[in-house]
Amino acid sequence: MSIKEDASYLRSIYIYIAISVLLFALTAVMGYYTAHLDPEFAASWTEEMKIQSLIQWILGQPPLMIMMIIFLKNLLASAAAILLGLGLGIVPMMVATSNGFLLGIVGYSAVEREGWLYLAAGILPHGIIELPAVLLSIAIGLRLGHVLLLSLLKERADLSGEVRVAIRLLLRWIMPLLLLAAAIETFITPFVISRVA
């Protein structure tokens, strides 16, 4: 399929894109204010997820390994959000809300320690590519969940065609964008952070 057909598909799922952005944004705000109002809960939540130890382990690897770990982690999350969207959209919603909440908590911590400029430097260079790719994955997963529901209700729906389109978008657009974002996060974002720290 052509780029024009891909663009047409993206226009057709705008409502799912809006839902994924809204879910992510709301839970990011919730995470931020949770960390502000109850720092102990935020600390215990990140401790339960072993965030700090995971970050330390990743940062101890060679740069190319760091890039591949980041890429594979984001690719796995995106693929799960898309393909497990067939479970009536539950997994994509979980990916959106857990990642949004975590970003809010980490964002609050960064702002408290170093300020808003530091947070922007740590997110924007790679985030302007990574976040849209992940949110698009979530939106596609929500769409697949909706189409499956329509199929179960005996409505006219081309579930196999939707799955093919989803996999094609994952391979053609989302995967390369996530690889580019991982490279930027590994090699450029640290430099940008060092300029504002």
pLDDT of residue 1: 63
Q: What are phi and psi of 61, to 5 degrees?
A: -90, 160
Domain that holds residue 166: 3-196
pLDDT of residue 55: 79
DSSP codes of every residue in 109-173: HHHHHH-HHHHHHHHHHHHHHHHHHHHHHHHHHHHHHHHHHHHHTT----HHHHHHHHHHHIIII
Instruction: Give helix then strand counts, H and E, for the chain.
Output: 10, 0
Whole-angstrom distance, CA of residue 62 vs CA of residue 66:
6
Query: Could you tell me if 99 and 137 are in contact, meaning their C-beta atoms sit under 8 angstroms apart?
Result: no
Nearest to 184 by CA among 103, 123, 134: 123
Whole-angstrom distance, CA of residue 171 vs CA of residue 166:
9
Opening angle at CA 63, ends 171 and 121, nearest 5 = 80
Question: What CA–CA distances, in Å, run from 57 to 45, 50, 61, 69?
Answer: 19, 11, 7, 11
pLDDT of residue 145: 95
pLDDT of residue 45: 75
From first to last of its 197 residues, the chain has per-residue pLDDT tens of 688 999 999 999 999 999 999 999 999 999 999 999 998 888 787 777 677 777 788 888 999 999 999 999 999 999 999 999 988 889 999 999 999 999 999 999 899 999 999 999 999 999 999 999 999 999 999 999 999 999 888 888 888 999 999 999 999 999 999 999 999 999 999 999 999 87
What is the residue type of 54?
L
Q: Is the dihedral of CA 149, 150, 152, 158 positive or negative?
A: negative
pLDDT of residue 190: 93
Nearest to 84 by CA among 130, 140, 34, 129: 140
Domain count along the chain: 1
For the whole model, what pTM was predicted? 0.92
Q: What are phi and psi of 194, to 5 degrees?
A: -65, -25
pLDDT of residue 20: 97
pLDDT of residue 127: 96
